[in-house]
Amino acid sequence: MSGNRIAVITGASAGVGLAAAKALAAEGWRVIGLGRNAARCAAAEAELRASAPGAEVTMLRADLSLMADAARVAKEIAGMVDHVDLLANNAGGMIPEPAVTAEGLEECFAGNHLGPFVLTTRLLPLLLKAPQPRVINTSSDGSEMIPGMNWENLEDPLGSSPGAAYCSGKLANVMFAAELARRHGGQGLLAFSFHPGTVASNFFAHVPQATRAHTEALEKITPEEGAATLLWLARQPAEALDNGGYYYRCAPRDPNPTAHDPANGERLWALSEQLVASALARS
């Protein structure tokens, strides 16, 4: 196994992901960043190289709302490295109108949870080769704003509004981290989720108008401030953290009451496998 620490960061072409990538590259990590837009990926790679001269940085294009693309980029990463120390599932967002992907999935939930689910499960063999692997999911306080997962609507591509689908995806990020810790904590895997705060980024360009009006009134933090908890979770000693926990501002935060129920974690995992298999059969 190569000696350098390796981080895979999704949504690394801007915002919190780019800020985290810069910080880790400056510390000597090998950084593999993912982004949806090829031009923004190229610009981010140039920015990363300029901010951390000599750092080993690669940006890969991938649309994580498409399960075939998530599987493809996981295979590409597996051909590049022999282990992964950190997987930061940071990409995600909201869409202004209901939309269905070419694979038949609701686009918002697919991009926020199902694509990261594919990437994580496909990279698990590489993560488990690292001495102390970590998976960190960027969630949102939107995960706290719904009573729980609307399981029936997850199987209906147009069963939810974009806002409800976004909150479900962010709750899934919290549930998924907790379930990863339950399933693989005994193998040394640490998994966490966190709320970064309301970050000034291009996220708000894609939200519905009513949501945008609300969020524009909120006080914003910088991408660097938003990345602080992600980086803190990547650096803290394992014994100082709650494996499977949900965090905000570098401290534990109470999640949605349904988030850490093992039955919900198992149900989410099984449903995710089912939806992904259906999508891949269409691609």
Catalytic residue numbers read: 166
CB atoms within 10 A of CB 94: 24
Amino acid residing at 200: A
Query: Helix 223-235 and helix 15-26: axis angle, to 10°?
Result: 50
* 10 DSSP β-pair partners: 34
- Burial of residue 209 (CB within 10 Å: 0-12, 13-18, 19+) is exposed
Q: Please list the alpha-helical segments (H only) found in the chain.
A: 15-26, 38-51, 67-78, 107-109, 115-127, 151-154, 162-184, 209-216, 223-235, 262-282
> Strand pairing of 246-248 and 190-195?
parallel
